[in-house]
Structure 1
Amino acid sequence: MITRALLFLTVFFLVSCAALIQPNIKSGIAEIKQGNYELDKSHATVLFKVNHMGFSKFIGRFNTFDAGLTFDPDNFANSKLNAIVDMSSIDVNSPDFEETLRGKDWLNTDEFPQAIFESESAKQISESKAVFSGYLTFLGVRGPVDIEVIFNGGANNILTQKYTLGFEAKALFSRSAFGLDRYVPTIGDDIELEVHVEFHRK
């Protein structure tokens, strides 16, 4: 009986603690605080996907990147999103293939170490969805790209003591439009980007 009582108290304590640190997230663009935000790099993921010979989607990630967000829920057109990716940080779970992808035939990271996105306009689509339209500079070529964002909401993070905003985003662009046309169409031309991030309000 004592053992069961202790187990019950332990579970009750853990559940209570979890409830205390759960943020009161306000979902929807209108309820998120206005301001300038910096990336929480410990809670940020950038994935890419490309068709592999029709068999599957090849998926990789970039481990080093940064981003900044200016957020204005009252006049969303004033919002801005900028990001910079270290292309040499590509991760496909194969060190040998990663070196191949960094080479001149693919990402040519020695000559073009970064990819940069800079938004030019922002449009709210629904209560939680928006589109940032801007330009991606990739392999020395600057071309238009739209990033569709779903805002998960914002709240004070009890653990970090910072107001935090989270979103997921996706984008689609043609790699050949940036000069990377090797093995198209055997290896897909369309590159899908998938982003999951949290930002801290400055």
Structure 2
Amino acid sequence: MQFLKITYCLSIVTVLLSLTACGALLSGEVERELIELKPGAYRLDPHHTTVLFKVGHLAVSDFVGRFNQASAELDYNASDPADSQLRASVNLASLDVNRPDFADTLKSCDWLCTGRYPQAVFESQGRARRDGNSLVFPGFLDFRGVRKAVELHVQINGATTNRLTGNYTLGFEAHLLFNRSDFGMGQFIPAVGDAVRIEVYAEFIRR
């Protein structure tokens, strides 16, 4: 019986070591410095993308939802990262708040009006401001038929080659702040906060 226990434990250890080795094989060397990353055109990987929104509720908490469909293109300039350009869009009808009936309310023209304005689009304009691996992109947000100047704050976590797919992959986090009242959606303030925070956690694949 003792021999069987030892054999079983050794088998478990062997499996765990094998899984660890496989994980190491799938992940290549990570490049962290922005000037080390490969330049060129990148597209958002929809399978490794999360887009969240947060808005204050009753001044005591945040209401959090997500959008399940987004796309983006990054034109990355490795020699001068601040000269990179970014365009991103969100399908507003893909709103997910874990309550289909409330999602339908938010999609109505009392709120997002997704039938009339199906997308929200950010497009960078001019040079970004750089601080280490962070880039602040000035640009414009088109939302509910209104176009306003905003800033998209981006943290580039690094890049590596996914050895399973062969894709050169760049890790990316971003956030964007705006007041919904600037876009014609000012009802129920202050019970529902005016400030909206968009958070993006994503990977870009080099074309």
Give the paired residue count: 202
Equivalent of 1:152, from 153, 157, 179?
157
Q: Which runs of 5+ in 1 are unaligned?
A: none
CA contact 1:81–1:119 (8 Å) conserved in 2: yes
CA contact 2:90–2:121 (8 Å) conserved in 1: yes
- What displacement does 1:124 show? 4.1
Partner residue, 1:13: 18
TM-score by length of 2: 0.94
Q: SS state of the match for residue 51, structure 1? A: strand
Partner residue, 1:163: 168
Q: How far apart, in 1, do the equivalents of 2:158 and 2:120 lie?
A: 27
Partner residue, 1:69: 74
Q: How far apart, in 2, do the equivalents of 1:127 and 1:115 lie?
A: 29
Equivalent of 1:78, from 67, 80, 83?
83
Partner residue, 2:131: 126
Partner residue, 1:183: 188
CA contact 1:114–1:138 (8 Å) conserved in 2: yes
Partner residue, 2:3: none
Moved more, 163-172 or 75-84: 75-84
Q: SS state of the match for residue 23, structure 1? A: coil
Q: SS state of the match for residue 189, structure 1? A: strand
- What displacement does 1:18 show? 1.6
CA contact 2:168–2:205 (8 Å) conserved in 1: yes
Could you tell me the percent identity over the aligned residues? 43
Q: How far apart, in 2, do the equivalents of 1:87 and 1:197 lie?
A: 18
CA contact 2:55–2:64 (8 Å) conserved in 1: yes
CA contact 2:82–2:135 (8 Å) conserved in 1: no
Q: For 1:101-156, what per-residue CA distance to the aligned partner results, in whole angstroms no more than 9, with x for missing partners?
A: 01111111111111111100232422211111100000000001101001010111
Structure 1 pair 18–77 and aligned structure 2 pair: CA distance change class (3 A): closer
Q: How far apart, in 1, do the equivalents of 2:161 and 2:85 lie?
A: 22
Q: 4+ runs of 1 displaced by more than 3 Å?
A: none
Partner residue, 1:200: 205
Q: How far apart, in 2, do the equivalents of 1:56 and 1:4 lie?
A: 47
Q: How far apart, in 1, do the equivalents of 2:107 and 2:160 lie?
A: 39
Moved more, 166-175 or 19-28: 19-28
Structure number with greater Rg is 2
Q: For 1:53-91, what per-residue CA distance to the aligned partner results, in whole angstroms no more than 9, with x for missing partners?
A: 112100001111110000002122431110111111111
Q: How far apart, in 1, do the equivalents of 2:191 and 2:12 lie?
A: 58
